[in-house]
């Protein structure tokens, strides 16, 4: 099945810094989604981005489908950005989306 690799696994930044999170996938996809899991475990939908670029406030994402990767940019990080960021893609024309292991982001005040 399709493999989803996220990097880095952990990232520690000072408040105000910018960050780039990467998601590589092993096969062509029709769906790619980014999620934020906050420290309470809640999952928050960020982007549906099978290709192209989207922006939402301080967050933006770019997927280059032909090269099988996606990037999530966080600018001017705030402590509330802390948590785990997951990338998920569709797998083999079935119903489920497949999650990567996530990048754990710590923003220090």
Write out the residues near another protein by the rule CB under 8 A: 30-31, 33, 35, 41-45, 48, 50, 86, 88, 90-91, 93-102
E-assigned strands of the chain? 4-7, 10-14, 19-25, 32-37, 43-48, 52-56, 59-64, 69-74, 83-90, 97-99, 103-108
Nearer to another protein by C-beta: 44 or 76?
Answer: 44
Taking the complex as a whole, how short is the minimal distance between the CB of residue 52 and another protein, in angstroms? 14
Nearer to another protein by C-beta: 43 or 76?
Answer: 43
The answer to whether 49 and 63 are in contact (CB under 8 A) is yes
Nearer to another protein by C-beta: 88 or 107?
Answer: 88
């Amino acid at each position: 099945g399709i493999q989803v690799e996220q990097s880095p696994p952990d990232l520690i930044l000072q408040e105000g810094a910018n960050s780039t999170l990467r998601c590589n996938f092993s096969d062509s996809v029709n769906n790619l989604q980014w999620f934020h899991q906050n420290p309470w475990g809640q999952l928050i939908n960020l982007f549906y981005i099978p290709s192209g670029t989207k922006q939402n406030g301080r967050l933006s994402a770019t997927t280059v489908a032909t090269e099988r990767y996606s990037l999530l940019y966080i600018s001017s990080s705030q402590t509330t950005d802390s948590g785990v960021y997951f990338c998920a893609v569709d797998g083999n024309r079935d119903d489920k989306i497949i999650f990567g292991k996530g990048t754990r982001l710590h923003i220090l005040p």
